[in-house]
Structure 1
Amino acid sequence: MNKANPLHQALSRILRPLARLLLRNGIPYGEFAELLKRAYVEAALEDFPDGRRRPTDSRAAVMTGLTRKEVKRQREILTGEDAGARDVLHTNRASRVVSGWVHDAVFQARDGEPAMLAFDGPGSFSELVKRYSGDMPPRAVLDELLRVGVVSVDAESGGLVLKQRAYVPAGDSAEMLQIFGEDVSDLIATIDHNLVSDESGQGPLFQRTLTYDNIPPEVMESWRKHAAAQSQVLLEQLDTWLGPHDRDISGQQPGSVSGDSVRTGVSIFFFEEPSGRVR
């Protein structure tokens, strides 16, 4: 591998933490390589159209370096996944419940803040779950929100209190790994869009990072708390603006006069490591 290639250098930085996560979760190289083949085939077939012609296995084989037989095999797997296993919501159901609690007037107090909810009855937590989480049992959703500290139980009334305006699961749970896939995918897609925005005629998307590499360690605890607090304030301000436009909140139906739905958002993440460390 040519170490002077900027893309190779960037990939090395990306793949090291990815390999660490894969090894921690018991994913060997062969399994990752199989998934990588599938991603190459999917990108070749879906993201690089040749004019108006449907992409062929032969063209995908030329682009990816895989054999036509392997491209066909991966395409058939992808077709099967599209019919079932890959049909998942972008947004975790528990997160949708929290969003509904924050934005839906039915579940707000008079001051517009999320109300304390009873578990059952009109305007209750159970009704909230039914509206925003489909067929999930309300008790299961509540147990999860209690587990991660998003909800607490009022000691006097027994009512349910929303403590945080965002649901973030802990550890390498299925929900956290789903967020990992979405967040990293979104970041790479934004960077890719910006790399070719001049050629495509589309404007760049917002992408900024604040970085310093000579911060004394005694500052870090205060910095972590300050960064988290200010980031939370910004995200809540953005959520206040954007949330009411979500069709699940507004009641507007997909495919209406305004067109098909769009998935959009802003991600903020904190990082720290010893200065000069090679990932």
Structure 2
Amino acid sequence: MKNSNTNPLHRALYRILRPMARLLLRNGIPFAEFAELVKRAYVDAAMEDFSDQRKKPTDSRAAVMTGLTRKEVKKQREILAGEHHGTAGKRQENRASRVVSGWVHDPAFQTSEGEPVDLPFDGPLSFSELVRRYSGDMTPRAVLEELERVGVVASGDSGELVLRQRAYVPAGDSEEMLQIFGEDVSDLIATIDHNLVRREENSQPLFQRTLVYNNIPPEVMVRWRQYAAQQSQTMLEQLDKWLGPHDRDIASHGKGKTTGDAVRTGVGIFYFEDPVQPDVNGEQK
């Protein structure tokens, strides 16, 4: 590979792949398994994102673009066809998250001031009714145990259930957390890719901003973490209050069926910190 140390895209890819390799190793994914997934992604992108709208994409053209053999392209394409069958359009929000969203937005589960009301477990307008509206066939007890496990819901003094947090975030390398990892990283990369090519497509840029300082004293960090989390949560709640009621599932109180086209949209915020490492000349980088 020529100029791998000076190619800006190579440097950017390495920065993406380094923490991803750590996550993969922690979850027991060897390189060969990762390489198979990369082949599949290349074939999927070649067949879908770079297809000629006037004619069906061919294995030969995908092979030329990806550098894979036609046999390998055919194999990956057939795997993709099996994976996509019955799953198209089913990139759904986590069910526990939908329950929390319904609790926050559905007027039936709010106080007169518009805040989430404390709920009994059973009965009309209870937690069980909330789960029936917004989580499909999941049992209320299973949803409650998960929300209690991550600290989103707790039992109040009166025995009713209290919403402690307005968002569901699973912990650890759970299946739900890995799903969030896949969605958040792909959304960020898709936004950056859109902004890189928007001039060619004559489209508007998507909002993408980052706040970074690289010479902050360690004694400031505890206060900064708390302040950043507080302000980020406040902003997300304000955005959620505006956008949530426009969701057709929320507007129909969990009883409607999606008709016509739908758009998936949102805003992501993430916090980061790492020690500044000196370069070979002793300077910070």
2:273 matched to which residue of 1?
A: 272
Q: In the TM superposition, what is the alpha-carbon distance from 1:111 to its structure 2 partner? A: 1.2
2:263 matched to which residue of 1?
A: 262
1:136 matched to which residue of 2?
A: 138
Q: In the TM superposition, what is the alpha-carbon distance from 1:109 to its structure 2 partner? A: 1.2
2:56 matched to which residue of 1?
A: 54
| Separation of aligned partners in 2, 1:166 and 1:183 | 15
Amino acid at match of 1:7: L
1:223 matched to which residue of 2?
A: 224
Q: SS of the residue aligned with 2:162?
A: strand
1:29 matched to which residue of 2?
A: 31
| Separation of aligned partners in 1, 2:144 and 2:100 | 11
Of 23-32 and 79-88, more deviation after overlay is shown by 79-88
Within-5 A mapping of 1:34-45 = 34-45=36-47
| Separation of aligned partners in 2, 1:277 and 1:243 | 45
2:282 matched to which residue of 1?
A: none
Aligned residue pairs: how many? Answer: 275
Amino acid at match of 2:222: E
Q: SS of the residue aligned with 1:273?
A: coil
Percent identity, aligned pairs only, is: 72
Q: SS of the residue aligned with 1:205?
A: coil
Q: In the TM superposition, what is the alpha-carbon distance from 1:206 to its structure 2 partner? A: 0.1
Q: In the TM superposition, what is the alpha-carbon distance from 1:87 to its structure 2 partner? A: 6.8
1:176 matched to which residue of 2?
A: 177
Structure 2 unmatched ranges of 5 or more = 280-284
Structure 1 unmatched ranges of 5 or more = none
- Could you state the TM-score of these two structures normalised by the residue count of structure 1? 0.95
- Per-residue CA distance 1:221-245 (angstroms, 9 max, x = gap): 1000000000000000000000000
1:210 matched to which residue of 2?
A: 211
Alignment root-mean-square deviation, CA: 1.6
| Separation of aligned partners in 2, 1:233 and 1:272 | 21
2:122 matched to which residue of 1?
A: 120
| Separation of aligned partners in 2, 1:168 and 1:277 | 35
Residues 139 and 89 of structure 1: CA distance in aligned 2, closer, same or farther (over 3 Å): farther
1:67 matched to which residue of 2?
A: 69
1:82 matched to which residue of 2?
A: 84
Of 168-177 and 76-85, more deviation after overlay is shown by 76-85
Q: SS of the residue aligned with 2:41?
A: helix
Q: SS of the residue aligned with 2:204?
A: coil
| Separation of aligned partners in 1, 2:33 and 2:217 | 41
| Separation of aligned partners in 2, 1:184 and 1:169 | 16
2:247 matched to which residue of 1?
A: 246
Within-5 A mapping of 1:152-163 = 152-155=154-157, 157-163=158-164
| Separation of aligned partners in 2, 1:83 and 1:175 | 22
| Separation of aligned partners in 2, 1:173 and 1:87 | 23
| Separation of aligned partners in 1, 2:89 and 2:257 | 20
Residues 277 and 239 of structure 1: CA distance in aligned 2, closer, same or farther (over 3 Å): farther
Amino acid at match of 1:59: R
2:148 matched to which residue of 1?
A: 146
